[in-house]
């Protein structure tokens, strides 16, 4: 689980976003809860399935909280699903904007 994540490996901004994202996805995959951040999962009907879903969703929400620096927690603390938390962090630091890519290429 994320408790083994070193302080210097926690997400602090755009400068370590790619390595953080890779690490988090591996951790989620290892815990078999990667789907909780990749797609919307509806809460199941049965009591046992509901309990398992809530447990996995709680783990999936805790991983991003434990893996970011304190100044980023307000961006995700009020979100109710792991997918929303992950998407909010990705939205902060990952840009698919073509003009931004051209600008960065020009800077290089």
* Distance from chain centroid for Cα 91: 10
| Cα 69 from chain centroid (whole Å) | 13
pLDDT of residue 1: 47
Would the pLDDT of 70 be above 60?
Answer: yes
pLDDT at residue 92 above 60? Answer: yes
> How many whole angstroms separate alpha carbon 102 and alpha carbon 59?
38
| Cβ proximity of 40 and 86 under 8 Å | no
* Terminal-to-terminal C-alpha distance of the chain: 37
> Is residue 7 pLDDT above 70, yes or no?
yes
pLDDT in tens, 10-64: 888 888 888 999 999 999 999 999 999 999 988 899 999 999 999 999 999 999 9
Give backbone dihedrals phi and psi of 68, rounded to 5 degrees, phi first. Answer: -120, 155
Q: Output the pTM of the full model.
A: 0.80
């Amino acid at each position: 689980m994320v408790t083994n994540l070193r302080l210097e490996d926690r997400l602090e901004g755009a400068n370590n976003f790619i390595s953080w994202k890779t690490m988090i996805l591996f951790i989620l995959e290892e815990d078999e809860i990667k789907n909780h951040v990749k797609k919307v999962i509806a809460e199941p009907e049965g009591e046992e399935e509901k309990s398992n879903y809530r447990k996995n969703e709680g783990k999936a929400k805790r991983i991003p909280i434990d893996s970011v620096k304190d100044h980023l927690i307000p961006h995700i603390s009020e979100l109710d699903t792991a997918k929303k938390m992950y998407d909010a962090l990705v939205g902060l630091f990952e840009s698919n904007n073509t003009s931004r890519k051209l600008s960065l290429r020009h800077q290089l």
